[in-house]
Every structure is written in C-alpha cells, then in structure tokens.
Amino acid sequence: MKRPSYERVDYTVRPAKSVERKMLCEALVRLGHFRDLTQYRYVGLGSIFFSDFILIHKSLGIKDLISIEKEIGDKKRFEFNCPYKFIKMLFGNSNEVLPNKLKWTKKLILWLDYDYKLDESVFRDISIFLLKAKSGSIILLTIDVEPDDPKDEKTGKHVGRYDKLADRIGILKIPLGTEEKNLLDPAGFPRVCFEIIDNEINKMISIRNVGIEYNDRLEYKQLFNFLYKDGSAQMLSVGGIIYSQKDKKEIQACNFDKLKFINSTIKPYEIIVPKLTFREVRYLDKLLPLNKSSLKRKKDDLSFLSEEMKKNYNKIYRYFPTFVEAEIG
C-alpha cells in the first residue's frame, strides 16, 4: 500500500512550493479591492504540516479555514498538528466533502493541492466548484505532471502513455491531435494537462450559465499557470477567479495583471529556485535589480554562478525561501 505523501515528503522544506505559496498570497491580497477578505473562506488540503493555512491566515487574516483530509485513519495526527483552533477539519475524499459537507454560503478560495496525476476525481471537484461557488471565488488545482511510465505497474507490460492517460480520464477529454510523443517530454505532458483542465473549466462555466440572466452570468479569468519541481515529480498549478458580469469592474480593479507571475496563457510560469548559500543570496541582493550593468561590475566575484542561476534568482528573489535549522526547547 502506498504511503500518504506527508510521510514521504516534508512539505515545509520544498523551496519551489514555498515560492508558489508566497506568490499566491500576494495575488489573493488584491481581492481586498473587491471584498473584505474576512468575507472569504479558505479550503485546502492541509496535510499534517498546514503550511498554506498558516501563511493564508497570517497574510490575509482569514479565520474561516477548512482542511479536507482523506486519510481518516490518521485523524488524531491531523488534529494534533492543527496550528489554530479555528481551522475546521472535514474528513473524507474531496469528491465527498465538497458537495456534501461544505456550505457554499461564502466566497471561496479553494486550493486542491493533489499529490497525484490528473484523473476523473479532479473533474468532479472542478464541476462541484463551478456549479456552486459564488462570484469572486478562486480555484487553484495542483497536479503531478511527471510523464507516465509507459509500463503497467502490475504486469510490467508496455501500455503507452496515451493509453494510461485515457484510462484515467477517458479518451474524450484528451485534446484532439494529442499523440504519444506529446506525453513523453517534461514540457509536453504539462501542456496537455493544462489544456484538459482549461477545457473542463470553460465547459462547466458554459453549463452554469445556461438560462441565467446576463448580469449573473459567470466568466473565468485565468490567473495561475505555475510549473515547478522540488523533488522527483514535476507539478503544475492551474487556476483563476470566477465572477459575474455585475462584478466585472470590481474584479478588474484588483489589477491582478500588475503582478509579473500572473499568467493567462498556456505557457507556464516556471518557478526555478537556484541552490544558493546565504552569503551568495546576500551578495546578489546588493546588486538588485540584476541586469547586465550590475553583473558586469561584479563579474569576477560572480564567476562561479551561472547566468541561469542569476536569472532565476532575479525572477523570484522577493519570494526566495530561507530555511534555517533551529532547536526548539
């Protein structure tokens, strides 16, 4: 039996994930131009670390926090590690919790940070959210987009990546023109997964709008398309905001597009965290913004760092994680 991801990965020390969380919070702060953030409810998959919950609360002040946990057998461990008494725990699969246990009375920030590949359960969560969520709600989906092993896990026989994907989601959801070669490389598979999710979101928006008056019809604005890799698996995060026509001007006033990582395209915003020492980070900070002239002046001192490392640091320096070992008495 496969162990749950929180027993295999320490989510508190994943640098790219840390950058993503901070970027997400910076974007969500802008919702304050639309509504008081205390009117929002945050729903996520806290695991035993609750890293996103802690950051969401401290950055946005939201106290209406709900964690969905499918590993019911570890209920006591989740409750022990819960950092705030105002976090409500709902146990069960997200497909069961979202429609049956969650009240849809408030605007929602929903981050479903799955630890597995795209499958039919993801589509069920998308449909539940888009049929029930209020205008101004945010959805973010994170999935494993590491290319499939073309072999069957049980028999060892070659089954092909296309067949594996079709078996998980159904052949009709695979975009036309997708071939085996598209699912092989680290860039092609995330692109296909993005298209599948985007198609599903827009399909459900169309269904929601059937028979609804114009002012109440919803639109979907994509805000996020992150691609990153901390360990063995490459991860894709896709999502955005839904809003009614009558709320359109207020949503536009949030000016999400002013943030450089906001992404409405199919090409992902890649989060690459260079491996730097604290001294190297402090040195680079003195040269910010990193450009040709600043780097030219210190060329000899920085010769051991590649141009790619400098470029990647310049891109994310405001969100760069600093993990320090400390002994807590």
Number of domains composing the chain: 2
pLDDT at 300: 55
Give me the domain span that covers residue 307: 278-319
Judge if 11 and 133 occupy the same domain. Answer: yes
Stretch among 88-97, 130-139, 301-310 having the lowest mean pLDDT: 301-310
**Does 305 map to a domain?**
yes
**Is 109:141 a contact under the CB 8 Å cutoff?**
no
Model confidence pLDDT, tens digit, residues 150-180: 887 777 788 889 999 999 999 999 999 999 9
Interhelix angle 188-208/161-169, nearest 10 degrees: 20
**Does 174 map to a domain?**
no
pLDDT at 329: 45
Entry pTM: 0.91
**Per-residue pLDDT averaged across 249-253, rounded?**
96
**Is 196:236 a contact under the CB 8 Å cutoff?**
no
Neighbours of 1 (CB within 10 A): 3
Model confidence pLDDT, tens digit, residues 124-133: 999 999 999 9
Judge if 315 and 198 occupy the same domain. Answer: no
**Does 177 map to a domain?**
no
Average pLDDT of the chain is 91
pLDDT at 7: 45
Judge if 224 and 290 occupy the same domain. Answer: no
Judge if 71 and 128 occupy the same domain. Answer: yes
**Does 167 map to a domain?**
no
Judge if 141 and 282 occupy the same domain. Answer: no
Question: Is it the case that residue 324 has pLDDT exceeding 70?
Answer: no
- Cis ω on the peptide bond leading into residue 289 (within 30° of 0)? yes
**Does 105 map to a domain?**
yes
